[in-house]
């Protein structure tokens, strides 16, 4: 496929200047027509600028043997990862959607030069041509499925690597062991969910990769927000004034889980907020000192650390 539309001309050039960009794509598809998604196995780009500079001053005929030799050497330089056989040619902006069979690489060269020559004859001085070579392999369905699975495993490994890097950055910021354990469990759950989706045949690899990128971008964004836009912590006085006691087994009642670390509240030191919600003492102190002045459950506001003016105790 070739296209040249959308690029600006430059009539101030003394002679035509031709640039050619090649997009080389290889993909697999299943012989089973019910599986329409192709699997990309190669994608590369190759750009060549002012390709006829050596002959433009003496020869304006872009169908000449010299021009053919330049394009031929260009194709050899690209070193395509597949044979250029069973070829067809299509102009992207052809309203008739004409597909022309080609017999050889020489036919490719002829088509490229025909497009370039036509643009130069029409008066263009700046010619930018994109040639897209798309090679499709049809596989037995079993082989196709094996390649799909191999790609999923590679992507899953990359996703795990990205999530592990984010996890290490998050853990480096916390000192409380319960907070660290909470973060580890959250990431383990994310990895498990992604693995389940990756192994499901009805979920596209593109969607999984988008999800993984979103998770990493979200973690990075939140990390930035925590540094730049972090809420002011609760005041030291308000934290010290919170009700502290040792919770016996029988006192836990139905609310026996600390929502910060997701561990049981039993036979341990706890703090009860003015809103009556209870947490491990070190969990809630860490929370109020580093993650804002509100209750993790109901957003009850403790007085903020003083900046200007007086503290206020209010419920949002």
Is 163 in contact with 155 (CB distance < 8 Å)? no
Looking at residue 165, its pLDDT comes to 76
- Per-residue pLDDT, averaged over 54-69, amounts to 75
- Per-residue pLDDT, averaged over 304-314, amounts to 51
Confidence of residue 308 (pLDDT cuts 50, 70, 90): very low
Strands, E, within 49-193: which ranges?
87-90, 99-102, 126-139
Q: What is the pLDDT of residues 155-181, one digit of tens each?
A: 778 777 877 777 777 677 666 676 677
Coil, helix or strand at residue 129: strand
- Per-residue pLDDT, averaged over 137-144, amounts to 92
pLDDT, the chain, mean: 78
Tell me the CATH architecture of domain 236-315: 2-Layer Sandwich (3.30)
Looking at residue 45, its pLDDT comes to 94
Longest dimension (CA), the chain: 98
**Structural tokens at position 162:** 């990205």
Residue spans in the chain of domains classed CATH 3.30.40.10: 236-315
Confidence of residue 250 (pLDDT cuts 50, 70, 90): low
Higher pLDDT, 232 or 85: 85
Residue of 183, 177, 181 lying closest to 282 (CA atoms)? 177
Instruction: Please name the residue that has the structure tokens 């495993």.
Output: 153
Q: What is the pLDDT of residues 267-300, one digit of tens each?
A: 889 999 999 889 999 889 988 887 788 888 888 8
Is 148 in contact with 250 (CB distance < 8 Å)? no
Looking at residue 310, its pLDDT comes to 39
Q: What is the 3-state secondary structure (H, E, C) of 239-297?
A: HHCCEEEEECHHHCCCCCEECCCCEECCCEEEEECCCCCEEEHHHHHHHHHHCCCECCC
Confidence of residue 222 (pLDDT cuts 50, 70, 90): low
Is 40 in contact with 25 (CB distance < 8 Å)? yes
Strands, E, within the chain: which ranges?
2-3, 17-30, 39-48, 87-90, 99-102, 126-139, 243-247, 257-258, 263-264, 268-272, 278-280, 300-301, 314-315
Distance CA 196, CA 64 (A): 59
Coil, helix or strand at residue 88: strand
Plot region of 37 (φ>0 → left; ψ -120 to 50 → alpha; else → beta): beta
Which among 54-68, 169-183, 207-221 has the top mean pLDDT?
A: 54-68
Radius of gyration of the chain (CA): 32
Is 150 in contact with 25 (CB distance < 8 Å)? no
Higher pLDDT, 190 or 91: 91
Coil, helix or strand at residue 218: helix
Instruction: Please name the residue that has the structure tokens 């341990």.
Output: 268
């Amino acid at each position: 496929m070739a296209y040249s539309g959308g690029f600006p001309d430059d009539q101030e050039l003394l002679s035509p200047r031709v640039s050619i960009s090649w997009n080389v794509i290889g993909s697999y598809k299943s012989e089973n027509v019910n599986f329409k998604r192709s699997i990309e196995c190669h994608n590369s780009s190759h750009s060549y600028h002012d390709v006829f500079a050596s002959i433009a001053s003496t020869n304006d005929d872009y169908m000449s043997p010299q021009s053919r030799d330049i394009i031929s050497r260009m194709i050899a330089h690209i070193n395509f990862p597949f044979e250029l056989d069973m070829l067809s040619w299509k102009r992207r902006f052809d309203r008739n959607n004409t597909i022309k069979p080609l017999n050889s690489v020489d036919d490719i060269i002829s088509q490229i030069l025909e497009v370039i020559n036509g643009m130069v004859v029409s008066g263009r001085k700046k010619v930018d041509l994109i040639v897209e070579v798309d090679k499709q392999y049809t596989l037995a369905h079993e082989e196709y499925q094996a390649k799909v699975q191999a790609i999923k495993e590679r992507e899953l490994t990359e996703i795990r690597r990205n999530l592990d890097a984010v996890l290490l950055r998050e853990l480096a910021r916390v000192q409380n062991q319960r907070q660290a354990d909470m973060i580890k469990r959250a990431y383990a759950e994310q990895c498990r969910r992604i693995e389940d989706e990756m192994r499901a045949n009805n979920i596209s690899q593109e969607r999984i990769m988008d999800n993984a990128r979103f998770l990493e971008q979200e973690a990075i964004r939140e990390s930035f927000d925590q540094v730049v836009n972090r809420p002011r912590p609760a005041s030291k006085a308000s934290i010290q004034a919170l009700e502290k006691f040792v919770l016996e087994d029988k006192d836990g009642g139905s609310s026996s889980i600390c929502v910060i670390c997701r561990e049981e509240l039993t036979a341990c030191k706890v703090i009860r907020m003015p809103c009556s919600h209870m947490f491990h003492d070190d969990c809630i102190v860490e929370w109020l000192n580093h993650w804002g002045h509100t209750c993790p459950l109901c957003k009850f506001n403790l007085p903020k650390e003083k900046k200007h003016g007086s503290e206020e105790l209010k419920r949002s």
